[in-house]
Amino acid sequence: MEKIDYKGALLESYIEWPASSRYFVPVAGDKKSDKKLAKCLKSYEVNDGEEVLFVLDDTLFGSATDGILFTEKAIYVKQLADSPKRVAYFHIRDASVYVEGKGDDIQMEINGEILGPFGMLDDDFLEPLEAALVHIRIATNQKINEVQQVVEAKKAGREQASAEENDQNSKICPSCSASNDEEARFCSNCACPFPRKKEKKLARCTSCDEMILANSAFCSKCGAKQETQRNCRNCGQSLELVANFCGSCGSPAGEPHNHVTDGGNTMDWSAVGERAFNLFANTYRKTEDYDGAFEMFAMEVGEAMESAGIEIEWSWSVDLPEDAFKAVYSKAMEAATSSNNEDDVYGPFFTYLEDQKYERESS
């Protein structure tokens, strides 16, 4: 970022200094001016490398070794028999010029410190000196504003980048557009369920036992064609893929094929679905907690599937037996459209079922 142009603020601004010998501007290459400037540099103890812009001479004989000296970086004040004082323009918080005393001497006050009096400067210097201090403050404030704008722009950029990163890692509700945690199952704002990711169903290769995608025609590891049944490893009797024991010799059939069935004729999946949904509904009525109610639903269905010998990592959106799904769907539709359901507590759940129904019909 560029430095503050105090030189331009003091010389290019319209400041009308009096036509007086007490207003000394160094002239490069002029011997008389160079000699006078050398005395000023020594008397005011000007820092090396600072360019002297002009001097307000407060000496009796015009040597300019006392008074007020302006460089492109700071203001210097030197009075007879006193050490010089330097104040950097950037550090000037407040400044004023006024006339004080019986002799109407000019005095300055910078950051609460009184400098002066300057008895050899007449009233004509009062107004331009005050204008010079004002231009210095204006130049400083402009630069401060520029810096603040840059800082705020960078901050806004970081906040936007952070927000975009959060959006990428968050889950947006399809109903109310609220942002939720990536692992959320229900919207924290409107309780709308999020569609679950469809899990890939796996099955073991009938030849090498490698886990492959269910219903694959061939094994992706050994290339063997997949059969619809397997043989007992003890007696060779043909077995259903889901059999746990051989019906001929009673030997364990090995790890059962990971394939979803209706669990046999003994399981009434319609009753399971209705029972699970009623458990969900009753839990929600009491607690108004979708997560807790759904956990009760999942627990009921999970126990039924375990009892039926379906040993899978349960994901009801994919693996719930068809009769059970139809029962749940029917009960949810009935509850969601019921005239007594004024607050539509099951509406989001029914919407979720609609999505799952579409996924099941599309798969």
Q: Domain extents for the chain?
A: 6-142, 202-258, 269-362
Give DSSP secondary structure letters for 211-267: EEETT-SB-TTT-PBPPSEEE-TTT--EEETT-SB-TTT--B-SSPP-------TT-
In 135-208, DSSP assigns E strands to: 170-172, 179-181, 202-204
Asked if 204 and 210 count as a contact pair (C-beta separation under 8 A), the reply is yes
Give the CA distances from residue 40 to residues 1, 64, 181, 311, in Å, rounded to whole numbers and listed in that order: 32, 6, 70, 97
Amino acid occupying residue 330: S
Handedness of CA 32, 38, 44, 47 (dihedral sign): positive
Tens of pLDDT along the chain (363 residues) come to: 568 889 988 887 678 888 888 999 999 899 999 999 999 999 999 999 999 999 999 998 999 999 999 999 999 999 988 999 999 998 998 999 998 877 678 999 999 999 989 989 988 999 999 999 999 999 999 888 888 888 888 888 888 877 666 666 678 887 888 888 877 888 888 888 877 665 566 666 766 667 777 777 777 777 777 766 666 655 567 766 555 566 776 666 554 333 333 444 346 666 777 777 777 777 777 777 777 777 777 777 777 776 666 654 544 444 566 666 677 667 666 666 664 554 455 666 666 666 666 666 666
DSSP character for 203?
E
Total-model pTM: 0.46
Q: What angle, rounded to 10 degrees, do the helices at 290-307 and 269-287 form?
A: 160
Element (H, E) at 67: strand 67-71
Nearest CA-CA partner of 262 in 211, 228, 297, 304: 304
- Please give the Cα distance from 122 to 88 (Å, whole number): 25
